[in-house]
Amino acid sequence: MAKVGIVGASGYTGAELLRLLAGHPDLEVAVATGDSQAGQPVADLYPSLVGAYGDRTFDTYDPAAVDGLDLVFCALPHGASQAVVPDLRDRVGAVVDLAADFRLADADLYPEWYGEAHTVPDLLAEAAYGLPELFRPDLLGATLVAGPGCYPTAAALALAPLLRAGLVAPTGIVVDAVSGVSGAGRPAKPTTTFCAADGDVTAYGLLRHRHTPEIEQTLTRVAGTAAQVVFTPHLVPMSRGMLATCYSRPVEGTTAADVAAAVADAYAEEAFVSVVPGSPSTKATQGSNAAHVAAHLDERTGWIVSLCALDNLGKGASGAAVQCANLALGLPEGTGLSTIGTYP
Protein backbone atom coordinates (compact mmCIF):
# COMPACT_ATOMS: atom_id res chain seq x y z
CA MET A 1 0.00 0.00 0.00
CA ALA A 2 1.69 3.16 -1.21
CA LYS A 3 1.13 6.34 0.77
CA VAL A 4 0.03 9.42 -1.13
CA GLY A 5 -0.84 13.01 -0.36
CA ILE A 6 -3.25 15.44 -1.93
CA VAL A 7 -2.22 19.08 -1.77
CA GLY A 8 -5.29 21.20 -2.48
CA ALA A 9 -7.83 18.53 -1.62
CA SER A 10 -10.76 20.86 -1.00
CA GLY A 11 -11.44 21.83 -4.61
CA TYR A 12 -13.44 19.71 -7.02
CA THR A 13 -10.45 17.89 -8.49
CA GLY A 14 -9.17 17.26 -4.98
CA ALA A 15 -12.50 15.91 -3.82
CA GLU A 16 -12.64 13.67 -6.87
CA LEU A 17 -9.18 12.35 -5.98
CA LEU A 18 -10.45 11.63 -2.46
CA ARG A 19 -13.38 9.73 -3.95
CA LEU A 20 -11.25 7.71 -6.35
CA LEU A 21 -8.54 6.95 -3.81
CA ALA A 22 -11.08 5.70 -1.25
CA GLY A 23 -11.69 2.85 -3.67
CA HIS A 24 -8.10 2.35 -4.81
CA PRO A 25 -6.69 -0.92 -3.49
CA ASP A 26 -3.01 0.10 -3.60
CA LEU A 27 -2.96 3.77 -2.63
CA GLU A 28 -3.73 5.22 0.78
CA VAL A 29 -4.39 8.92 1.42
CA ALA A 30 -1.93 9.84 4.17
CA VAL A 31 -2.32 13.61 3.87
CA ALA A 32 -5.05 15.84 2.45
CA THR A 33 -4.42 19.55 2.67
CA GLY A 34 -6.73 22.44 1.89
CA ASP A 35 -5.37 25.70 3.23
CA SER A 36 -8.54 27.70 2.70
CA GLN A 37 -10.53 25.03 4.53
CA ALA A 38 -7.93 23.93 7.07
CA GLY A 39 -9.45 22.39 10.15
CA GLN A 40 -12.83 21.90 8.56
CA PRO A 41 -14.20 18.37 8.42
CA VAL A 42 -14.01 16.93 4.92
CA ALA A 43 -17.62 15.81 5.29
CA ASP A 44 -18.84 19.33 6.02
CA LEU A 45 -17.65 20.51 2.65
CA TYR A 46 -18.39 17.23 0.86
CA PRO A 47 -21.20 15.32 2.58
CA SER A 48 -20.76 12.76 -0.18
CA LEU A 49 -17.50 11.72 1.47
CA VAL A 50 -18.88 11.22 4.99
CA GLY A 51 -18.95 7.43 4.72
CA ALA A 52 -15.25 7.19 3.88
CA TYR A 53 -13.72 10.29 5.43
CA GLY A 54 -16.09 10.90 8.32
CA ASP A 55 -13.36 11.70 10.84
CA ARG A 56 -10.90 13.56 8.69
CA THR A 57 -10.36 17.32 8.47
CA PHE A 58 -8.50 19.23 5.81
CA ASP A 59 -4.93 19.88 6.93
CA THR A 60 -2.83 22.98 6.49
CA TYR A 61 -0.01 22.30 4.08
CA ASP A 62 3.10 21.32 5.99
CA PRO A 63 6.16 20.18 4.03
CA ALA A 64 7.26 17.91 6.87
CA ALA A 65 3.93 16.07 6.78
CA VAL A 66 4.46 14.93 3.22
CA ASP A 67 8.08 13.86 3.69
CA GLY A 68 8.66 10.40 2.40
CA LEU A 69 5.31 9.90 0.74
CA ASP A 70 5.40 7.76 -2.36
CA LEU A 71 3.50 10.29 -4.41
CA VAL A 72 1.74 13.62 -4.05
CA PHE A 73 -1.09 14.94 -6.17
CA CYS A 74 -1.04 18.74 -6.49
CA ALA A 75 -4.58 19.99 -7.07
CA LEU A 76 -3.83 23.66 -6.52
CA PRO A 77 -4.98 26.57 -8.69
CA HIS A 78 -2.73 27.45 -11.62
CA GLY A 79 0.39 29.24 -10.52
CA ALA A 80 0.44 27.85 -7.00
CA SER A 81 2.07 24.59 -8.03
CA GLN A 82 5.22 26.31 -9.28
CA ALA A 83 5.87 27.51 -5.76
CA VAL A 84 5.45 24.12 -4.16
CA VAL A 85 6.61 21.49 -6.60
CA PRO A 86 10.39 22.14 -6.59
CA ASP A 87 10.55 21.52 -2.83
CA LEU A 88 8.03 18.68 -3.00
CA ARG A 89 10.18 16.77 -5.46
CA ASP A 90 12.93 16.52 -2.89
CA ARG A 91 10.58 15.09 -0.32
CA VAL A 92 8.41 12.58 -2.15
CA GLY A 93 8.79 9.84 -4.72
CA ALA A 94 6.74 11.44 -7.43
CA VAL A 95 4.49 14.42 -8.06
CA VAL A 96 1.40 14.49 -10.27
CA ASP A 97 0.35 18.09 -10.83
CA LEU A 98 -3.19 18.79 -12.00
CA ALA A 99 -2.68 22.50 -12.74
CA ALA A 100 -1.28 24.04 -15.91
CA ASP A 101 2.09 24.81 -14.30
CA PHE A 102 4.08 22.09 -16.00
CA ARG A 103 2.06 21.41 -19.10
CA LEU A 104 3.73 23.72 -21.60
CA ALA A 105 7.25 22.79 -22.62
CA ASP A 106 7.97 26.25 -24.00
CA ALA A 107 8.32 28.65 -21.06
CA ASP A 108 7.65 31.62 -23.33
CA LEU A 109 4.05 30.57 -23.70
CA TYR A 110 3.31 31.24 -20.01
CA PRO A 111 3.56 35.04 -20.13
CA GLU A 112 1.67 35.09 -23.42
CA TRP A 113 -1.28 32.91 -22.38
CA TYR A 114 -1.18 32.89 -18.57
CA GLY A 115 -0.03 36.45 -18.04
CA GLU A 116 3.01 35.64 -15.93
CA ALA A 117 6.50 34.30 -16.46
CA HIS A 118 7.16 30.79 -15.21
CA THR A 119 9.21 30.82 -12.02
CA VAL A 120 10.96 27.48 -12.52
CA PRO A 121 11.25 27.11 -16.28
CA ASP A 122 14.05 24.56 -16.01
CA LEU A 123 11.64 22.10 -14.48
CA LEU A 124 9.41 22.11 -17.54
CA ALA A 125 11.69 19.76 -19.41
CA GLU A 126 11.48 17.23 -16.61
CA ALA A 127 7.71 16.99 -16.62
CA ALA A 128 6.03 14.16 -18.47
CA TYR A 129 2.72 15.10 -20.08
CA GLY A 130 0.06 12.90 -18.57
CA LEU A 131 -1.82 11.56 -21.56
CA PRO A 132 -0.93 7.87 -21.53
CA GLU A 133 -2.87 7.08 -24.71
CA LEU A 134 -0.43 9.30 -26.64
CA PHE A 135 2.72 9.42 -24.53
CA ARG A 136 2.71 6.33 -22.33
CA PRO A 137 6.44 5.62 -22.39
CA ASP A 138 7.20 9.00 -20.82
CA LEU A 139 4.99 8.19 -17.88
CA LEU A 140 6.35 4.84 -16.76
CA GLY A 141 8.21 5.59 -13.56
CA ALA A 142 7.92 9.34 -14.07
CA THR A 143 8.74 11.52 -11.06
CA LEU A 144 6.96 14.64 -12.30
CA VAL A 145 3.76 14.44 -14.28
CA ALA A 146 1.80 17.36 -15.70
CA GLY A 147 -1.81 16.26 -15.82
CA PRO A 148 -3.35 17.61 -19.01
CA GLY A 149 -6.15 20.13 -19.20
CA CYS A 150 -9.63 18.79 -19.76
CA TYR A 151 -10.17 20.49 -23.10
CA PRO A 152 -6.70 19.55 -24.37
CA THR A 153 -7.39 15.91 -23.50
CA ALA A 154 -10.69 15.91 -25.34
CA ALA A 155 -9.29 17.72 -28.37
CA ALA A 156 -6.19 15.53 -28.50
CA LEU A 157 -8.09 12.26 -28.28
CA ALA A 158 -10.39 13.42 -31.11
CA LEU A 159 -7.66 14.73 -33.40
CA ALA A 160 -4.40 12.93 -32.65
CA PRO A 161 -5.15 9.69 -34.53
CA LEU A 162 -5.91 11.69 -37.67
CA LEU A 163 -2.78 13.81 -37.40
CA ARG A 164 -0.55 10.89 -36.49
CA ALA A 165 -1.81 9.00 -39.53
CA GLY A 166 -1.18 12.06 -41.71
CA LEU A 167 -4.80 12.22 -42.79
CA VAL A 168 -5.48 15.87 -41.99
CA ALA A 169 -3.79 19.24 -42.26
CA PRO A 170 -2.31 20.43 -38.97
CA THR A 171 -3.58 23.98 -39.40
CA GLY A 172 -6.96 25.52 -39.97
CA ILE A 173 -8.40 23.29 -37.27
CA VAL A 174 -11.51 24.33 -35.33
CA VAL A 175 -12.07 22.98 -31.82
CA ASP A 176 -15.55 23.84 -30.56
CA ALA A 177 -16.21 22.42 -27.13
CA VAL A 178 -18.60 22.48 -24.20
CA SER A 179 -17.96 21.89 -20.54
CA GLY A 180 -20.04 21.26 -17.46
CA VAL A 181 -19.86 23.91 -14.77
CA SER A 182 -17.57 21.98 -12.42
CA GLY A 183 -14.76 22.91 -14.79
CA ALA A 184 -14.94 26.39 -13.27
CA GLY A 185 -14.10 25.06 -9.83
CA ARG A 186 -15.81 25.07 -6.44
CA PRO A 187 -15.65 28.76 -5.42
CA ALA A 188 -18.91 30.62 -6.00
CA LYS A 189 -18.77 33.14 -8.87
CA PRO A 190 -21.48 35.23 -10.48
CA THR A 191 -21.16 33.26 -13.71
CA THR A 192 -21.52 29.87 -12.07
CA THR A 193 -24.51 30.31 -9.81
CA PHE A 194 -27.35 27.95 -10.54
CA CYS A 195 -29.53 30.80 -11.75
CA ALA A 196 -26.86 32.06 -14.13
CA ALA A 197 -25.90 28.69 -15.60
CA ASP A 198 -29.23 26.84 -15.63
CA GLY A 199 -30.91 27.14 -19.00
CA ASP A 200 -27.92 28.92 -20.48
CA VAL A 201 -25.21 28.25 -23.01
CA THR A 202 -22.56 30.84 -23.61
CA ALA A 203 -19.07 30.88 -25.06
CA TYR A 204 -16.19 32.21 -22.99
CA GLY A 205 -12.49 32.84 -23.33
CA LEU A 206 -13.10 33.64 -26.97
CA LEU A 207 -9.89 33.38 -29.07
CA ARG A 208 -7.74 33.54 -25.94
CA HIS A 209 -8.57 30.53 -23.77
CA ARG A 210 -5.46 29.28 -21.97
CA HIS A 211 -5.90 25.73 -23.16
CA THR A 212 -5.24 26.81 -26.76
CA PRO A 213 -1.41 26.53 -26.70
CA GLU A 214 -1.64 23.24 -24.85
CA ILE A 215 -3.90 21.81 -27.55
CA GLU A 216 -1.50 23.07 -30.20
CA GLN A 217 1.49 21.63 -28.37
CA THR A 218 0.01 18.14 -28.29
CA LEU A 219 -1.19 18.24 -31.88
CA THR A 220 2.17 19.58 -33.03
CA ARG A 221 3.93 16.77 -31.23
CA VAL A 222 1.84 14.05 -32.85
CA ALA A 223 1.80 15.74 -36.26
CA GLY A 224 5.50 16.40 -36.29
CA THR A 225 4.86 19.88 -37.63
CA ALA A 226 3.35 23.06 -36.24
CA ALA A 227 -0.36 22.68 -35.58
CA GLN A 228 -2.75 25.57 -35.09
CA VAL A 229 -6.31 25.68 -33.83
CA VAL A 230 -9.02 28.18 -33.09
CA PHE A 231 -10.65 27.05 -29.89
CA THR A 232 -14.06 28.07 -28.50
CA PRO A 233 -15.17 26.69 -25.15
CA HIS A 234 -18.78 26.99 -23.99
CA LEU A 235 -20.38 26.59 -20.60
CA VAL A 236 -23.45 24.34 -20.60
CA PRO A 237 -25.92 23.60 -17.80
CA MET A 238 -24.61 20.36 -16.38
CA SER A 239 -22.27 19.64 -13.49
CA ARG A 240 -19.85 17.31 -15.22
CA GLY A 241 -19.04 16.43 -18.77
CA MET A 242 -17.18 17.72 -21.78
CA LEU A 243 -17.59 17.32 -25.51
CA ALA A 244 -15.11 18.54 -28.09
CA THR A 245 -16.35 18.77 -31.67
CA CYS A 246 -13.31 19.20 -33.93
CA TYR A 247 -13.15 20.19 -37.57
CA SER A 248 -10.08 19.41 -39.63
CA ARG A 249 -9.29 19.34 -43.33
CA PRO A 250 -8.47 15.92 -44.87
CA VAL A 251 -5.43 15.74 -47.08
CA GLU A 252 -6.02 14.75 -50.67
CA GLY A 253 -7.15 11.18 -51.02
CA THR A 254 -8.28 10.55 -47.50
CA THR A 255 -11.25 8.20 -47.41
CA ALA A 256 -13.90 7.48 -44.81
CA ALA A 257 -12.30 4.09 -44.35
CA ASP A 258 -8.94 5.72 -43.62
CA VAL A 259 -10.55 7.87 -40.97
CA ALA A 260 -12.32 4.96 -39.33
CA ALA A 261 -9.18 2.85 -39.38
CA ALA A 262 -7.00 5.56 -37.89
CA VAL A 263 -9.27 6.01 -34.94
CA ALA A 264 -9.95 2.32 -34.41
CA ASP A 265 -6.26 1.44 -34.55
CA ALA A 266 -5.24 4.21 -32.19
CA TYR A 267 -7.50 3.01 -29.43
CA ALA A 268 -7.79 -0.72 -30.03
CA GLU A 269 -5.69 -1.48 -26.97
CA GLU A 270 -6.79 1.41 -24.82
CA ALA A 271 -8.95 0.46 -21.85
CA PHE A 272 -10.26 3.96 -21.29
CA VAL A 273 -11.02 5.07 -24.84
CA SER A 274 -13.95 3.64 -26.77
CA VAL A 275 -14.71 4.41 -30.38
CA VAL A 276 -18.45 4.85 -30.76
CA PRO A 277 -20.84 5.24 -33.70
CA GLY A 278 -22.56 8.57 -34.39
CA SER A 279 -21.72 11.02 -31.65
CA PRO A 280 -20.32 10.34 -28.22
CA SER A 281 -22.47 11.45 -25.31
CA THR A 282 -21.00 13.18 -22.28
CA LYS A 283 -23.36 11.43 -19.92
CA ALA A 284 -22.04 8.03 -20.92
CA THR A 285 -18.72 8.93 -19.29
CA GLN A 286 -20.07 10.65 -16.16
CA GLY A 287 -18.13 9.72 -13.07
CA SER A 288 -15.75 7.42 -14.96
CA ASN A 289 -12.28 7.60 -16.48
CA ALA A 290 -13.63 6.82 -19.93
CA ALA A 291 -13.35 8.87 -23.10
CA HIS A 292 -15.61 8.17 -26.09
CA VAL A 293 -14.46 9.12 -29.57
CA ALA A 294 -16.03 9.25 -33.04
CA ALA A 295 -14.85 10.60 -36.42
CA HIS A 296 -16.67 11.28 -39.68
CA LEU A 297 -15.53 12.43 -43.13
CA ASP A 298 -17.89 14.82 -44.90
CA GLU A 299 -17.14 14.34 -48.55
CA ARG A 300 -19.61 17.05 -49.53
CA THR A 301 -17.74 19.88 -47.80
CA GLY A 302 -14.29 18.42 -47.29
CA TRP A 303 -14.21 18.46 -43.51
CA ILE A 304 -13.57 15.74 -40.98
CA VAL A 305 -15.71 16.10 -37.86
CA SER A 306 -14.18 14.22 -34.93
CA LEU A 307 -15.58 14.28 -31.43
CA CYS A 308 -14.55 13.24 -27.95
CA ALA A 309 -16.68 13.08 -24.80
CA LEU A 310 -15.32 12.65 -21.31
CA ASP A 311 -15.95 13.65 -17.72
CA ASN A 312 -13.95 16.80 -17.07
CA LEU A 313 -13.28 15.67 -13.49
CA GLY A 314 -12.59 12.05 -14.57
CA LYS A 315 -10.45 11.51 -17.66
CA GLY A 316 -10.26 15.30 -17.86
CA ALA A 317 -8.57 15.69 -14.47
CA SER A 318 -8.54 13.42 -11.43
CA GLY A 319 -9.12 10.12 -13.17
CA ALA A 320 -6.25 10.85 -15.54
CA ALA A 321 -4.11 11.85 -12.56
CA VAL A 322 -4.70 8.48 -10.89
CA GLN A 323 -3.99 6.72 -14.19
CA CYS A 324 -0.68 8.56 -14.38
CA ALA A 325 0.08 7.88 -10.72
CA ASN A 326 -0.42 4.19 -11.38
CA LEU A 327 2.09 4.38 -14.24
CA ALA A 328 4.54 6.43 -12.20
CA LEU A 329 4.41 3.91 -9.35
CA GLY A 330 4.57 0.82 -11.53
CA LEU A 331 1.03 -0.32 -10.78
CA PRO A 332 -1.35 -1.69 -13.42
CA GLU A 333 -2.53 1.40 -15.25
CA GLY A 334 -6.25 0.98 -14.60
CA THR A 335 -6.06 0.20 -10.89
CA GLY A 336 -8.87 1.90 -8.97
CA LEU A 337 -10.43 3.36 -12.09
CA SER A 338 -13.64 2.49 -13.88
CA THR A 339 -14.85 2.82 -17.44
CA ILE A 340 -18.46 2.86 -16.28
CA GLY A 341 -20.09 6.05 -15.19
CA THR A 342 -23.32 6.52 -13.32
CA TYR A 343 -26.24 6.51 -15.72
CA PRO A 344 -28.70 8.08 -15.73
Closest CB to a second copy among residues 137, 185: 185
**Stretches 69-77, 128-136, 147-155, 225-233: which one binds a second copy (CB under 8 A)?**
225-233
Q: Which of 137, 200, 264, 265 binds a second copy (CB under 8 A)?
A: 200
Q: C-beta of 198: minimal distance to a second copy in Å? A: 5
How far is Cα 15 from Cα 314, in angstroms, rounded to an integer? 11
Contact 222, 134 (CB under 8 A): yes
| Strands of the sheet with 128-129, listed across from one edge | 27-33, 2-7, 71-74, 95-97, 144-146, 128-129
Binding of a second copy at residue 251 (CB under 8 A)?
Answer: no
Contact 124, 118 (CB under 8 A): yes
How far is Cα 258 from Cα 296, in angstroms, rounded to an integer? 10
Binding to a second copy (CB under 8 A) within 17-36 occurs at 19, 22-23
Closest CB to a second copy among residues 146, 294: 294
Give the HSE-up count for residue 31: Cα atoms under 13 Å, Cβ half-sphere. Answer: 26
Q: C-beta of 173: minimal distance to a second copy in Å? A: 9
Q: C-beta of 94: minimal distance to a second copy in Å? A: 25
Q: Which of 73, 102, 110, 247 binds a second copy (CB under 8 A)?
A: 247
Which residues, at least 6 apart from 297, have a Cβ–Cβ distance to it below 8 Å? 250, 254, 255, 256, 259, 304
Q: Which of 78, 234, 260, 261 binds a second copy (CB under 8 A)?
A: 234
The 3-state DSSP class for residue 166 equals: coil
Q: Which of 1, 117, 125, 206 binds a second copy (CB under 8 A)?
A: 206
Does the annotation mark 195 as catalytic?
Answer: no
Nearest residue to 149 (alpha-carbon basis) of 135, 163, 129? 129
Binding of a second copy at residue 170 (CB under 8 A)?
Answer: no
Binding to a second copy (CB under 8 A) within 38-97 occurs at 46-52, 54
**Residues recognised as catalytic:** 150
